[in-house]
Structure 1
Amino acid sequence: MTEPKKLRTISDPFVALGPSGVAVRDRLKHLTPENETVLRLVGSHQGTLASRDLKTRCADGHEHSTDRWATRKRELTKESSSRIAGTITKATHDQWALSRRCQLAHIQTLEAGVRTLTQRLSLPIGEKGTKRAAGGYRSKNEWFQKSRRLATLEHRLEQARTDREAGRVHVVRGGRRLLNTRHNLEKAQLTEADWRARWETEHWFLAGDGESGKRFGNDTIRVAPDGEVSIRLPGPLAHLAHARHGRYVLAARVAFAHRGQEWADRIEANRAVAYRIHLDAPRGRWYLTASWQRPVVQTIPLITARSQGMVGVDTNADHFAAYRLDTHGNPVGDPRQFHYDLTGTADHRDAQIRHAITRLLHWAKRVGARAIGLEDLDFAAEKTREKHGRNKRFRQLISGMPTGKLKARLVSMASESGLVIVVVDPAYTSQWGGQHWQKPLVTPRRKMSRHDAAGIAIGRRALGHPIRRRTAPPLHHRSDGAGHRTVQAGRDVRGRDGNRPPATDHAPGGVSPSGKRTRGPSTPKTVRGAPVQLMFTDQER
């Protein structure tokens, strides 16, 4: 007798927290050649200081302390200013901490690969696998090649563990991808001069942290309500200033079209606003980005989010599959799909995602929903070649889905639209949705895909209902003698045990879609000529 399949524990749904920060951007137009020269000099000077500080922080490793931080800041202050030094050291610490998190994720990926290879190499050649575990390798040659790869991964894992224990991280200012592009200029369609311009641009540092109480919320890079931009120059470049207090005023004016009123309210109240100036080297355009923190949006309780039903959304490689559900978990209307294209450049993919999310949110508000159920997807452990082997197409598919960015963007945009996101466990949603909901909802005018059914499963889990349409029938007979079998409605809902009107698609003859007969019953022939007293139920009257 086979043992029953063990299901993994399903975590409870929760309401996702709203965004904690805001960033808006505008282009710096009509800059004079002198303005661009000053910006390049300031960015290059402060970028050199940032590179030197990051090198010092990486060399300290675990020996870093508050005293070392103060020493680094004092050295930077001599060549810039105290505020610029504080901004540089803060950026250095953030970059070092990010590298440590990426290092840990890399170690976990290597450990998963070593476990998979060890398990498959221990099996006989040609042994078939199961749905939960891969089998042995197909040939002796493949077994030998995988044994060599196992040795390589074990060596990499040992080196990564040694670096982590020593507090050593590997960081490339400007990005490792751009660094490796230097060896593939023809493939990237770049000349050496173009690559050098991008590399130097990525090393610049033109940023200023906000400070509450200072004029317009920032003393290093100041933007006035009329859009005037001025920069506090570092000490070695103070001779370039043409305004009071060592400041340089740009000829450009900024006007934030998105969240402009919110930004204006902050600077008029002298609340902290951080700014960053950067150059888009391929197009030769300068941009200014303003960002500020917001208190974490207080999300509504889960029971309140469920009060007006739910929209279940299944995330796929090319579309969102959404279905509206009422408070009892019943699907309402027809499924909706919002398509997007994740091919092409990063800007194109981002625009496609934003457009699809916008259409989804507008539809959710139009149908009267208050919350959206979304899976807590994370393919970090599912992308390894050791787990999926030759299925390269599937690995590329799940690698191309921006699950983390998609969730963050959806939460942020939903918060601005007055909707909340209920995050659920993604376990078995597609499998159980297709099993319990795909076939019953198919009609001559409605087609149901597995993804549409998964959206229903996600919405029901977000509402706190089981995914199954009905509980198991009673053991002794198929009537409701042992209790009501449906789990569509709660026990306190009136009329939950009543007869349902016939469906429109398969209504019996003589019965209209409203449930009323179109003709009266004929006189029975059992008693000739005798009047018959008809008995009607409450629903038929």
Structure 2
Amino acid sequence: MGGVRALAAPFVVSGPSGVAVRDRLKHLTPEDERVLQTVGEHQGTLASRDLKTRCADGLEHGAGSWAARKRELTKVSSSRIAGAITKASNDQWALARRSQAAHIRSLEDGIRTLKYRLSLPIGAKGTKRAAGAYRSRGEWFRKSRRLADLESRHTAAVADWRTGRVRVVRGGKRLLNTRRHLATAGLAEEQWRERWESERWFLAAGGESGKRFGNETIRVTPDGRVSIKLPAPLAHLANTEHGRYTLASTVAFAHRGAEWADRIEANRAVTYRIHLDTVRGRWYLTASWQRPLVQAIPWETAKADGVIGVDTNADHLAAYRLDQHGNPVGEPHRFTYDLTGTTHHRDAQLRHALTRLLHWAKQTGATGIAIEDLDFSAEKTREKHGRKKRFRQLISGIPTAKLKARLVSMAAEQGLAIIAVDPAYTSMWGGQHWQKPLTTPRRKMSRHDAAGIAIGRRALGHPIRRRTAPPPHDQSDRARHRTAQAAPGAREREGTRPPATDHAPRDVPPNGTRKRQPSAPKTVRDAPRTHQWVQHPLMHTGQERSKDTCMSPMPPPT
């Protein structure tokens, strides 16, 4: 098929490698909150200082400089706290490094697109494959200025990349920029300052296998008692032995609580983090741990009992159930969500939609969920789509990465496999081959519902094209070849019928249409009128016919 790019094969997405659960620290006393704030401020200052040192080392950082940083921090904290802080600084620098590389690639894509569009004659039309030229000389001039700006920014970014210089903000760049727009954010300066300082605190500790309850710095017992190993300068705040402070509040993880209890009973590593939500005025404890890598189930097993094809959209998930042969079963389902408002509201909406999807998938008995392997990182640049602002907002609003991560994690708990497929042409071919045939007076099929069928069929290994009837036996040339009548691996499944070697006689009707001819009648009453009955030569010559009289038909004269 000319003009269609090669499609990637479907694959089963690997399950989550880590788990995180959270619970609120209720009934904290004023002394507990004061100790937590003091410890967080002290360790946050150490973390900021260590991150500055790590960024200054750049590409020259190695095991020796890491050990030196850890020794300096051990003097004012402890060896375990120093290890947690230095590891967090290394991870933050590495994340900034990856973000810098992604930023450089984004600038290069924009520069490439601008150069191409500027090289075209003004007013030249575009195609589906590439954007057209700019419509006026004024727009061409403004885009040439933007090209110069992107090139200068690209030069500076590449220079920083080569020297290993990154820009990191402890507390978040977004919150830092909010300081200049307090009225727009609806915050007072005191509220912003409180949030900024709490985000820069450091109250976290990595787990250690073999240690008591999996963590020595922040320890949580099976009955939910939380205690913290205080740094050396704050040891006078301890209320229990060995320089530890035990909180009055207890925790009980309602989600994955049994799994967490099994880990701490076996003294396996669990990482803890304590943080303050300044908006609600609540303290939370987050526990996380790694899961052993589990080999993904084979693709044949994932599609054994059919799949649920899911089309991802900006405000809903369109899902359709397909059996193992690729046939739609039942009615289409739609799971809506609203991605406006606060971050917590968007997360709750997405989580609720996925929960309803997984529950319905379990009810249908499907073994897998098919989704598109979407990545819009290179599709939302303003240089490619130009003045299509609403379209850029649309594709930017689809939570592709977050949706896939949440779906994989939640589906693993339900025993469902996630099959990722190539997203090319699913909406177009689904609407072409499935939307109209499945539309009835009682069923309204949308283009998104048809795309869900196309995604599911691709995950099952079937072509998206709907099965059609074979051509008439006497019109094979006019009706063209058969379409999708055989299995996907059958030879000549899309070709014309092979020539027949043994033809039936012309006067013999085709097999299955032949009708049985009536037999000759055995009585005079049922004989055809065209026959003439004559007397047998041995017949008696009287008026009365004896019992030996017999009649035989004589053929009509010719």
Alignment of 1:299 onto 2:296: yes
1:175 aligns with 2:176: no
2:484 match: 486
Rounded to whole Å, the distance in 1 between the matches of 2:128 and 2:261 is 57
Please tell me whether Structure 1 or Structure 2 has the larger radius of gyration of its CA atoms.
2
Partner of 2:206 in structure 1? 209
What corresponds to 1:226 in structure 2?
223
User: In the alignment, residue 97 of structure 1 is paired with which amino acid?
Assistant: A
Matched, 1:44 2:41: yes
- Please state whether the residue corresponding to 1:201 is helix, strand or coil: helix
User: Is the 1:323–1:336 Cα contact (8 Å) retained in structure 2?
Assistant: yes
Aligned to 1:405: 402
8 Å Cα contact 2:78/2:231 also seen in 1 = yes
Report the CA distance between 1:213 and its aligned residue: 0.9
Residue equivalent to 1:129: 126
- Equivalent residue for 2:139? 142
Contact 1:470 1:488 in 2 (8 A): no
Answering whether residue 306 of structure 2 is matched by residue 309 of structure 1, we say yes
Distance change in 2, residues 1:290/1:434 (3 Å)? same
Deviations 1:469-514 (A, max 9, x none): 248977994399998643475689xxxxxxxxxxxxxxxxxxxxxx
The aligned counterpart of 2:413 is: 416
Any residues of structure 2 matched to 1:226-245 within 5 Å, and which? 226-245=223-242
TM-score by length of 1: 0.88
Q: Please tell me whether the aligned partners of residues 27 and 285 of structure 1 are also in contact (alpha carbons under 8 angstroms).
A: yes
| 8 Å Cα contact 1:128/1:136 also seen in 2 | yes
- Quick check: 2:25–2:249 contact (8 Å CA) kept in 1? yes
What's the offset of the Cα at 1:94? 1.0
**Range with greater deviation from structure 2 (438-447 or 85-94):** 438-447
Counterpart in the other structure of 2:194: 197
> Following the alignment from structure 1 to structure 2, what is the Cα–Cα distance between the partners of residues 326 and 220?
52
- Match of 1:252, SS state, is strand
**Residue in structure 2 matched with residue 104 of structure 1 by the alignment:** 101
CA shift, 1:299, in A, is 2.1
**CA distance in 1 between partners of 2:474 and 2:173 (Å):** 68
Which amino acid letter does the alignment assign opposite residue 54 of structure 2?
Answer: R
Q: Is structure 2 residue 116 aligned with structure 1 residue 119?
A: yes
TM superposition shift of 1:336: 1.0
The aligned residue for residue 90 of structure 1 is 87
Secondary structure (helix, strand or coil) at the match of 1:22 reads: strand
Give the corresponding residue for 1:500: none
Partner Cα distance (1:20, 1:82) in 2:
28
SS in 2 for 1:101: helix
Any conservation in 2 of the 1:328–1:488 contact (CA below 8 Å)?
no
Give the direction of change, closer, same or farther, for the CA distance of 1:388–1:54 in structure 2 (3 Å limit).
same
- Corresponding residue for residue 28 of structure 1: 25
With over 3 angstroms needed to count, the CA separation of the structure-2 counterparts of 1:260 and 1:478, relative to structure 1, is same
CA distance in 1, matches of 2:482, 2:489: 10
Q: What is the one-letter code of the residue matched to 1:450?
A: R
The separation in 1 between residues aligned to 2:185 and 2:385, in whole angstroms, is 30
Structure 2 CA distance for aligned equivalents of residues 141 and 489 of structure 1: 57
Deviations 1:264-307 (A, max 9, x none): 11111111111000001122111100111111233211011111
Deviation at 1:66, TM superposition (A): 0.6
TM-superposition CA deviations, 1:45-99 (whole Å, max 9, x none):
1111111111111111110111011111111111111111111111111111111
Q: Summarize the Cα distance change of 1:480–1:419 in structure 2 as closer, same or farther, 3 Å threshold.
A: farther
| Partner residue in 1 for 2:368 | 371
Instruction: Map 1:212-361 to 2 at 5 A.
Output: 212-361=209-358
1:26/1:129 CA distance change after superposition, 3 Å: same
Q: Give the secondary-structure state (helix, strand or coil) at the position aligned to 2:391.
A: helix
Matched-pair contact (CA < 8 Å) for 1:328–1:490: no
Unaligned runs of 5+ in 2: 491-516, 527-558
User: Is 1:184 the counterpart of 2:181 in the alignment?
Assistant: yes
* Amino acid of the structure 1 residue aligned with 2:399: P
CA distance in structure 2 between the partners assigned to 1:491 and 1:109 by the alignment: 41
Who is 2:382 aligned against?
A: 385
- Retained in 2: the 8 A contact 1:25–1:287? yes
RMSD (CA atoms): 2.5
Deviation at 1:419, TM superposition (A): 0.5
Amino acid at match of 2:476: R
**Match runs of 1:3-14 below 5 Å:** 5-14=2-11
Match of 2:153 in 1: 156
Q: Which amino acid aligns with 2:144?
A: S
Cα-to-partner distance string for 1:364-391 (whole Å, 9 max, x where unaligned): 1111100011101111011111111111
Q: Secondary structure at the match of 1:25?
A: strand
Compared CA separation, residues 145 and 472, structure 1 to 2 (3 A): farther
CA distance in structure 1 between the aligned counterparts of 2:483 and 2:475, rounded to whole angstroms: 12
What residue is the counterpart of 1:15 in the other structure?
Answer: 12
Q: Partner amino acid for 1:338?
A: F
Structure 2 residue aligned with 1:425, among 422, 435, 440?
422
> Structure 1 residues 488, 73: CA separation in 2 closer, same or farther (over 3 Å shift)?
farther
Match of 1:496 in 2: none
SS in 2 for 1:26: strand
- The alpha-carbon deviation at position 188 of structure 1 amounts to 0.8
Secondary structure, in 3 states, of the residue corresponding to 2:20? strand
| Corresponding residue of 2:74 | 77
TM-score (norm 2): 0.85
C-alpha contact 1:13 1:461 (8 A) present in aligned 2:
yes
CA deviations on 1:504-539 (whole Å, 9 max, x unpaired) are xxxxxxxxxxxxxxxxxxxx99x9999xxxxxxxxx
Do the aligned partners of 2:321 and 2:332 also contact (CA within 8 Å) in 1? yes
**1:537 aligns to what?**
none
Q: Displacement, 1:6? A: 2.2
Q: What is the distance in 2 between the residues matched to 1:302 and 1:6?
A: 29
Code of the aligned partner of 1:345: T
Paired residues, number: 497
Identity of aligned residues (%): 72
Deviates more, 1:483-492 or 1:5-14: 483-492
Describe the SS at the equivalent of 1:299. coil
Q: Secondary structure at the match of 1:412?
A: helix
Distance 2:415 2:188 in 1: 48
Q: Which moved more, 1:60-69 or 1:326-335?
A: 326-335
Quick check: 1:443 aligned with 2:440? yes
- 2: CA distance between counterparts of 1:395 and 1:322? 24
2:462 aligned counterpart, secondary structure: coil
| C-alpha distance 302-70 of structure 1, shift in aligned 2 (>3 A) | same
CA distance in 1, matches of 2:469, 2:55: 61
Aligned counterpart, 1:498: none
CA contact 2:429–2:464 (8 Å) conserved in 1:
yes
Task: State the AA in 2 paired with 1:112.
Answer: D
